[in-house]
Chains A and B, each alone.
Chain A
């Protein structure tokens, strides 16, 4: 993109905005915005059942142990990248496992 340069006012404003977003200097008139992690909220883009991060990019906001989270993610979040999809593709994923924390070995293997 280095061969492009801003030639009008709007393009210069866009350029300034992009540059300012990369800088660490913030105005003193307000509190600095909280740092944001570059991760998807609450889920992952790879298929690793049960692995996730909270909206702050950590694990403190997650259930401990993490198996407590799997079932509710399966039912109401239906993040297909993280756990199988309850509504359409893997409705019987948990049919042999009453407690994810205790019996997670009984969960079916799903091959997307």
Chain B
């Protein structure tokens, strides 16, 4: 082996050792597997349940739960072998159970979700109200539904890629981070507590992309994100960083500054010291987007950089926290350097991705 070949081999090994793996739901029926180091498409995992409209990690972080909304199916994919372990559909003849995202319990036996029944009658479809639902992965069916109170119906209006709940490590509580932080008892879906902080909004764009960093934080029983709040006197909107302890239901909120028109939530680097967000001001042709970087140890904004944003996209972070991903509404992933906030590369997947979220694993 000559020196040139040796250098190439070493380079390849180093790159392979550094990179993680990205899982993205793609049209029309596949999960795309992308190598972070080489930034190439490694595999396409065929899906049996239709267009994958949401993906999420299992509680043990070894599997992926994929859901679709045409057949309302659920598929379990092993991340290591990239094989489909199980799949089933909830639809029956003339009867649909529309679901979007699911959240596993700590034993990975049950999936919590928001479900809406649609019954095909002779002359019309009867659309039911949203209900909380529990899916048993062994029985392949919905084993329990609970009515959602009228005041919480609108807040539970689902969208593709949404993750309806965060489950506490002891499995006792379900957290909903939406217009308010709502904490439910997982055994009966009764509201235990409500906290009046609004989740950051971003007009015309998808909500937060929940990636691995949130997953690792949830494993430690914590949830860190950006939230909006409003003071009760002059109704000034401001945003800040909130840290939730999912077990004790306690939270800390630190104000950072006035709230911009829209924010895309926060992606946290694995060192948990740095966070990134995308903010937007203006609408349509006048929209301006910026990356914002935060020092989470001091709760301060450290860096901003404007970038030309597409009308719709999702936002993610690499497994090592050194790159930011902009993806969705098309077949490309833009890779931005997290240290400089400059565009590094655009990956052409030759395959459109759905708005079902992203999973990045080391």
Interface residues of A (CB under 8 A from B): 54-56, 58, 60-64, 68-69, 71-72, 75-76, 86-88, 91, 94-102
Contacts and interface: CB of A to CB of B under 8 A. Distances in A.
Contact of A94 (B51, B69, B350): B51
Nearest to A61: B284
Secondary structure dominating the interface of A: loop
A86 B352 contact: no
Contacts of B98: 87
B232 interface: no
Given A76-B160, A91-B50, A91-B70, A58 B284 contact: yes
Interface stretch (B25-33, B173-181, B221-229, B259-267): B25-33
A61 B27 contact: no
B28 A94 contact: yes
Interface in B258-292: 283-285, 287
Contacts of B352: 68, 71, 98-101
A67 to B, nearest CB: 8
Contact of B310 (A63, A87, A98): A63
A63 B329 contact: yes
Given A62-B311, A97-B28, A69 B329 contact: yes
Contacts of A88: 125
B57 interface: no
Contact of B284 (A56, A97, A100): A56
Nearest to A90: B70
21 contacts: A54-B284, A54-B311, A61-B285, A61-B311, A62-B311, A63-B312, A69-B312, A69-B329, A71-B354, A72-B160, A72-B312, A76-B355, A86-B69, A86-B70, A94-B27, A97-B27, A98-B26, A98-B30, A98-B351, A98-B352, A99-B27
Nearest to B71: A91
A5 to B, nearest CB: 41
Contact of A72 (B96, B310, B350, B355): B355
A96 B351 CA distance: 12
B53 interface: yes
A75 B53 contact: yes
B57 to A, nearest CB: 22
A109 B280 CA distance: 38
Contacts of A60: 284-285
Classify chain B: how many residues form its interface, as a range: 20 to 34
A6 to B, nearest CB: 38
Contacts of B310: 63-64, 68
Given A75-B53, A86-B51, A68 B329 contact: yes
Contacts of A58: 284-285
B330 interface: yes
A100 B349 CA distance: 12
A71 to B, nearest CB: 5
Contact of B28 (A56, A87, A98, A102): A98
A87 B70 contact: yes
A71 B27 contact: yes
Nearest to B312: A63
A42 to B, nearest CB: 9
A88 B120 CA distance: 10
Contact of B29 (A61, A95, A102): A95
A85 B47 CA distance: 20
A76 B69 CA distance: 9
Contact of A102 (B125, B287, B331, B354): B331
Contacts of A101: 330-331, 352
B159 interface: yes
A63 B330 contact: yes
B204 interface: yes
A68 B350 CA distance: 12
A99 B354 contact: no
Contacts of B283: 56, 61
A13 to B, nearest CB: 31
A63 B28 CA distance: 20
Contacts of A100: 27, 352
A88 B71 CA distance: 9
A19 B192 CA distance: 52
A91 B204 CA distance: 25
A57 B331 CA distance: 26
B122 to A, nearest CB: 15
